[in-house]
Amino acid sequence: MPVYLLPRHRTLLRLTLVSKIKSLEGLSAFGSLEELILDNNLLGNDLVLPGLPRLHTLTLNKNQITDLECLLDHLAEVTPALEYLSLLGNVACPNELVSLEKDEEDYKRYRYFVLHKLPNLKFLDARKVTKQEREEALVRGAFMKVVKPKASSDSVAVSPECHYTPLPSASRELTSHRGVLGKCRYVYYGKNSEGNRFIRDDQL
């Protein structure tokens, strides 16, 4: 695994890992890291970082991260000083780099949720965090998580041959002209209504 350790000056260390890596074993030896570049690798939802109390910059662009909440909870725990985070190119970051079905509104909701989890961020992806975004994250960030509906075993399967109709069962057959008796609390005067145009002549 190629490791590039670049001392920029006495107090700042920058570590760049690029080799399609899948795990970060051994990273605990660099506890004083302040910048960590992990772009273009194979890191997924099982990503585990050691405690990095001085890390302020982390880029994970173009990896295989799909579970945003799990990642953010982990970063909040092990990188308390984080100010710059970039997740572009991951499924967890919903924008057009990942899917053409995503739009700017999807990306805004994603930013609010990230800022709700990591309120100390100053930059997210390639964009500076604004005051308005912080305010929105405080109010709405907790509700911006996208949850896929789970398939329920209790759901009733609808046969494709069963067509829904709002008419009573006695009125479904074209040859049936039986009346249907019922009580209603409301009085119909026929004003401002075109309801009768939805009833066929053969159902009268």
Q: Has residue 184 got a pLDDT over 60?
A: no
pLDDT confidence tier of residue 176, bands split at 50, 70 and 90: low
Given a contact cutoff of 8 angstroms between Cβ atoms, the answer to whether 92 and 68 are in contact is yes
Given a contact cutoff of 8 angstroms between Cβ atoms, the answer to whether 61 and 43 are in contact is no
Q: Give the model's pLDDT for residue 101.
A: 75
Taking the domains of the chain in order of start, what are their residue ranges? 3-143
Q: What is the CATH number of domain 3-143?
A: 3.80.10.10
Q: What is the tens place of the pLDDT at every residue in 36-56?
A: 999 999 999 999 999 999 999
Q: Has residue 152 got a pLDDT over 60?
A: no
What phi, psi does 133 have (nearest 5°)?
A: -65, -40
pLDDT confidence tier of residue 67, bands split at 50, 70 and 90: very high
pTM here is: 0.63
Q: Has residue 166 got a pLDDT over 60?
A: no
